[in-house]
Amino acid sequence: MFRGWGKNQGCTQKFLTEGGQLGKVQEAFQFRETILLSVSSCQNMGSVIGKTMEENFKKQQEFMEKNQEVMLDRQIQMQNQMRERQAAMMVARSRDMLNWWGAFYVTVAFFGIVGFLKTKKPVPLIPLLPFSFIVGYQYDLAYGNKMQRCREEAERVMAEEGSYIELPRGLPTVQSIDAARNQ
């Protein structure tokens, strides 16, 4: 009945059922099929019933377009929420990583200072230099404005260097997706 339903039927059906739209969509398609049959049989007659059926058909098309718009809006909102959750997870991971790097840095610093005090040579303090950069980077990622700077750079790349982010074979089309799915 629905074009493109196959492997993802359960997911799509769950999405539509949760929004209470599945029954409406099925009714709309059944009603549309009934109208198409009725209109085709009444076209030869040229009666008032045929005109009424055409009006109903147009109303049904408008309803279906609105329904598609609502479903598309819901999908966009869902994808945005997923993106926000992924960004929050990334920030949480960077903060957790900062805790681990910070503990490691403190341990290396402690043993480096103890080694320096015993030998009076600066060699045990050398590892503190690269670890300072690593901990500084992790702090900037976790609590600084690194995410904002990355977002601004991404916007600049999209605006000025769009050729770097183009897909290798262009945007996927419905036909290419169907062909890949049928293989």
Residue 170: predicted pLDDT: 82
Residue 51: predicted pLDDT: 79
- The CB density around residue 105, as the number of other CB atoms within 10 Å, is 19
Q: What is the mean pLDDT of each run of 10 residues along the chain (183 residues)?
A: 46 48 59 60 58 86 92 91 91 93 95 95 93 94 91 92 84 84 88
Residue 171: predicted pLDDT: 80
Structure tokens at 160: 């000025």
Residue 167: predicted pLDDT: 80
Distance CA 72, CA 148 (A): 29
Three-state secondary structure of the chain: CCCCCCCCHHHHHHHHHHCCCHHHHHHHHHHHHHHHHHHHHHCCCCCHHHHHHHHHHHHHHHHHHHHHHHHHHHHHHHHHHHHHHHHHHHHHHHHHHHHHHHHHHHHHHHHHHHHHHHHCCCHHHCCHHHHHHHHHHHHHHHHCCHHHHHHHHHHHHHHHCHHHHCCCCCCCCHHHHHHHHHC
Distance CA 64, CA 25 (A): 8
Q: What is the pTM of this model?
A: 0.55
